[in-house]
């Protein structure tokens, strides 16, 4: 009887621990996926899935472009009318416009389910648009060219921002709305405004130093802006153009530092771009060095100020 009681106690404790772990896990999931974040989460998931499905379809169409075999109805193919090729960015713009107008309309008195559906279509349209962001930027079809990697960079930036928003980070975290609403004294409101202005000034300095990702993420995590504003500028940034062109030692330090820090980033970036493009392989040193030579360069000095044109009075006096 004693042995059976011990076994029952152990089993009861194990079951209680399992129930406690399940409740904690369930509460964590419920806290993470709140009702207010559901539209944004669905938008992000739709964006990521649409991007990868679109890249897969485009890769498939390109691989079978020279095939003379008859296409079946379910096989992907280019969309066109007569001799005109219709890019999928057109479909994305239409979806973004329709879903955007729908969300603006639902913002008045719409419910979360309707808003979630509209946000999902917005994510699909945004993925189709940003997948051909390089086409919009360069006004030519550079999808498979070197300049086409700009589209991948734009997609990564959008995923990073949306991911931070889903995780609960607020891009206006420096603006203490609670203190602004709860305390109407001019001292508190002045401090809040000064904090907001200081943070925006730090963000401008970071962007002028060429640290786009630091400035982007720093709007959600303010200490990153402080670090980015204090540290050395990137050598091709406007800040380096204004302050480093006459200081050769500092420009050389910025170039060496940029090449050392950017090398692993460029390696990971090239590898991920190869994977997305359908050619997964690790880039060799020559490819990495070539990309570093394209990205890293010293900023040109600012143009000299034009010489003052003498007036008629000055000419006459001479």
Q: How would DSSP label each residue in 274-314?
A: HHHTT------HHHHHHHHHHH--PPPPPPPPPPPPPPHHH
Indicate whether 105 belongs to any domain: yes
Residues 240 and 266 in one domain: yes
Q: What is the pLDDT of residues 39-96, one digit of tens each?
A: 989 999 999 999 999 988 988 888 777 777 777 777 777 787 777 888 889 999 999 9
Give the pLDDT band (50/70/90) at residue 311: low
- The pLDDT, as a whole number, for residue 215 is 84
Residues 175 and 150 in one domain: no
- Identify the domain containing residue 104 by its residue range: 34-61+86-168
Give the pLDDT band (50/70/90) at residue 176: low
More confident residue, 303 or 233: 233
pTM for this one? Answer: 0.62
CB atoms within 10 A of CB 3: 7
How many domains is the chain partitioned into structurally?
3
Residues 160 and 187 in one domain: no
Q: Which residues pair with 212 in a beta bridge?
A: none
Residues 197 and 96 in one domain: no
Give the pLDDT band (50/70/90) at residue 249: confident
Q: What is the pLDDT of residues 34-51, one digit of tens each?
A: 777 889 899 999 999 999
Query: What is the DSSP annotation of 190-250?
Result: HHHHHHHHHHHHHHHHHHHTT-HHHHHHHTTSHHHHHHHHHSPPPTTSHHHHHHTTT-HHH
Indicate whether 124 belongs to any domain: yes
Residues 52 and 105 in one domain: yes
- The pLDDT, as a whole number, for residue 195 is 79
Q: Does 196 score more than 90 pLDDT? A: no
* Mean pLDDT of the chain, nearest integer: 78
Q: Work out the average pLDDT over 175-189.
A: 66
- The pLDDT, as a whole number, for residue 157 is 81
Residues 93 and 143 in one domain: yes
């Amino acid at each position: 009887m004693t042995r059976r009681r011990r076994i029952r106690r152990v089993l009861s404790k194990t079951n209680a621990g399992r129930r406690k772990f399940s409740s904690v896990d369930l509460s964590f999931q419920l806290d993470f996926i709140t009702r207010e974040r559901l539209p944004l989460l669905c938008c992000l998931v739709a964006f990521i899935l649409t991007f990868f499905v679109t890249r897969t379809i485009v890769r498939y169409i390109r691989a079978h472009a020279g095939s003379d075999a008859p296409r079946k109805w379910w096989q992907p193919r280019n969309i066109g009318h007569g001799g005109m090729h219709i890019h999928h960015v057109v479909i994305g713009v239409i979806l973004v416009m329709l879903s955007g107008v729908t969300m603006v309309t639902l913002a008045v008195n719409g419910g979360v389910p309707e808003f979630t559906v509209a946000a999902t279509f917005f994510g699909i349209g945004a993925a189709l648009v940003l997948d051909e962001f390089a086409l919009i930027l360069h006004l030519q079809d550079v999808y498979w060219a070197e300049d086409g990697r700009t589209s991948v960079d734009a997609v990564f930036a959008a995923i990073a921002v949306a991911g931070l928003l889903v995780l609960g980070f607020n891009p206006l975290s420096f603006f203490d709305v609670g203190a602004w609403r709860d305390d109407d004294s001019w001292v508190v409101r002045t401090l809040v405004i000064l904090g907001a202005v200081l943070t925006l000034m730090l963000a401008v300095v970071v962007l002028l130093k060429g640290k786009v990702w630091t400035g982007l993420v720093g709007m959600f995590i303010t200490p990153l802006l402080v670090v980015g504003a204090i540290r050395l500028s990137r050598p091709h940034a406007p800040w380096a153009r204004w302050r480093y062109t006459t200081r050769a030692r500092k420009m050389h330090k910025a170039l060496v530092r940029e090449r050392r820090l950017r090398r692993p980033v460029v390696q990971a970036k090239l590898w991920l771009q190869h994977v997305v493009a359908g050619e997964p392989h690790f880039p060799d040193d020559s490819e990495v060095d070539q990309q570093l030579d394209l990205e890293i360069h010293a900023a040109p000095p600012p143009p000299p100020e034009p010489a003052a044109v003498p007036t008629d009075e000055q000419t006459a006096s001479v």
